[in-house]
Amino acid sequence: MRMLKSSDPAFDARFRKIVNARRESDSDIAIQVRDILREVKARGDEALVTYSMRFDGHTLSEQSDWVITAERCKQAYDDLEPELRDALELAAKRIEAYHRDQLPENRDFTDDAGVRQGAIWRPVDAAGLYVPGGRAAYPSSLLMNAIPARVAGVERLVVVTPTPKGKSNPLVLAAAHIAGVDEIWRVGGAQAIGALAYGTEKIAPVDVITGPGNAYVAEAKRQMFGVVGIDMVAGPSEILVIADKDNDPDWIAADLLSQAEHDPTSQSILITDNEAFAAQVADCIDLQLTSLATAETAMKSWEDHGVMIVVDTLEEASDLANALAAEHVELAVADPEPLMRTIRHAGSVFLGRMTPEAVGDYVAGPNHVLPTGRRARFASGLSVLDFMKRTSFISLDDAALADIGPAAVALAHAEGLPAHAKSVELRLK
């Protein structure tokens, strides 16, 4: 863990190193993923069989080895403890309500020149949802990806998920039942992304792929963009907590560890205006790690990537936060509103001492699939719009073409495109 002070003459250089540090896939992974995708495109199901055995120890032979049925998902849902079932249902209800409010409206109007114009929003036909297995088998991620797609009106929802040694997570299956997933294929990794994008003998291709995964999955999505749409290229999790000394240091320590426990490459950063408070938080982190089930992962993340920044005043925090453009930003201060208005770049902002980021991961409503790696400078979290596309339309009558057509002719000639000009001129005559 690094401690920085904004009053230190070397602060700008040290902070810039943190901002520019990359914790994502390297060129070796890109080459490996390229080869896997090429094999899936060429060999289809045969390649999936090979890679599933190699990477997951799972044999794909019988149909039951390939798919998880709706009946099995229903059984997993029925077998849940009532408290857990109710929690998933509450999360699903809140996620759906928030995303239903995102649905865009079609436009249809006629302007002063008599030109009718507008746009129609339609869902994609099929969406592929990647659901991790192993370390990150999270039912919340399935809900966060599948529910916006359903709200958008996508007719075919296809989940791909690795099942190491043939084992699947019953919570994920229960979430799939709640979300109304149509297909679940027991394949994962970069090869699953290739199967969704290109299609194989068994798996029909989709139009959009969303969902988190490891570095290989993220790289596969990056390489498949253009063949299909993707939500984003997601990297390791991040949290930035801006906190004053009036917080309970134990709470802030838990908030920082909530992201550190995701992965050894996750990053947790605290900005505070009180050095003594920073030291208290550091002590609380050390103490909590002694009893945390995910301590090995969280400790590695905190030791390698954790940062504490002490500023003279919290007004300095805004510029630092905008430079970091973090996935999650907590504003643990008495009055977070003024500070929030100065945060231009963040995946999601959590306001006040009683709003831990973890609530947003599960039941708040907004999507927890958020841009990482400073991409919040230009990208947004997953939404209904990721599963929709807009088609514009135009309609002119004689009068409207007479009004604006000559300008189109002039521009076409200026660009050296006489056929463009003629297609308008003929109608004007």
The strand pairing partners of 160, in sequence order, are 130, 185
Residue tagged 């609380």 (tokens): 284
β-sheet with 238-243: strand ranges across: 2-5, 307-310, 267-272, 238-243, 328-332, 348-351
Of the candidate CATH numbers 3.40.640.10, 3.40.50.1980, 3.30.930.10, 3.20.20.150, the domain formed by 27-230 belongs to: 3.40.50.1980
CA distance 249 to 163: 39
Return the pLDDT at 137. Answer: 73
pLDDT in tens, 58-113: 999 998 899 999 999 999 999 999 999 999 999 999 999 999 999 999 999 999 99
Return the pLDDT at 285. Answer: 98
CATH class of 2-24+235-364: alpha beta
Q: How confident is the model at residue 23 (pLDDT cuts 50, 70, 90)?
A: confident
Average pLDDT over residues 312-316: 95
What amino acid is encoded at 426 in this protein?
L
CA distance 182 to 184: 7
Return the pLDDT at 375. Answer: 94
Q: Residue 360 above 60 pLDDT?
A: yes
CA distance 88 to 184: 19
**Which residues have C-beta within 8 Å of that of residue 177, sequence separation ≥ 6?**
70, 73, 74, 76, 77
For residues 33 and 223, is the Cβ–Cβ distance under 8 A?
yes
φ, ψ (nearest 5 deg) of residue 189: 75, -170
Which entry of 328, 330, 345, 368 is annotated as an active-site residue?
Answer: 328
With a pLDDT cut of 90, the percent of the chain lying above it is 92
> Which SS3 state, helix, strand or coil, does residue 281 take?
helix
pLDDT in tens, 325-351: 999 999 999 999 999 999 999 999 999
328 given a catalytic annotation: yes
**Which residues have C-beta within 8 Å of that of residue 217, sequence separation ≥ 6?**
130, 132, 188, 189, 190, 192, 193
Domains 2-24+235-364 and 27-230 share a fold: yes
Q: How confident is the model at residue 372 (pLDDT cuts 50, 70, 90)?
A: very high
Which entry of 183, 238, 327, 330 is annotated as an active-site residue?
Answer: 327
Q: Residue 383 above 60 pLDDT?
A: yes
DSSP secondary structure letter of residue 352:
S
What amino acid is encoded at 228 in this protein?
V
Return the pLDDT at 25. Answer: 64
413 given a catalytic annotation: no
For residues 142 and 125, is the Cβ–Cβ distance under 8 A?
no
What is the average pLDDT value for the chain, to the nearest integer? Answer: 96
Return the pLDDT at 22. Answer: 78
pLDDT in tens, 261-304: 999 999 999 999 999 999 999 999 999 999 999 999 999 999 99
Q: Are strands 348-351 and 229-230 parallel, antiparallel or unpaired?
A: unpaired
Residue ranges covered by each domain of the chain: 2-24+235-364, 27-230, 396-428
Q: How confident is the model at residue 396 (pLDDT cuts 50, 70, 90)?
A: very high
- Residue 9 tokens read as 């003459």
DSSP secondary structure letter of residue 23:
-
Return the pLDDT at 237. Answer: 94
pLDDT in tens, 111-148: 999 999 999 999 999 999 999 886 567 899 999 999 99
User: Angle, nearest 10°, between helix axes 170-179 and 139-152?
Assistant: 10
pLDDT in tens, 208-218: 999 988 889 99
Residue 27 CB burial class (10 angstroms; 0-12, 13-18, ≥19): exposed
Average pLDDT over residues 363-385: 96
Q: Residue 184 above 80 pLDDT?
A: yes
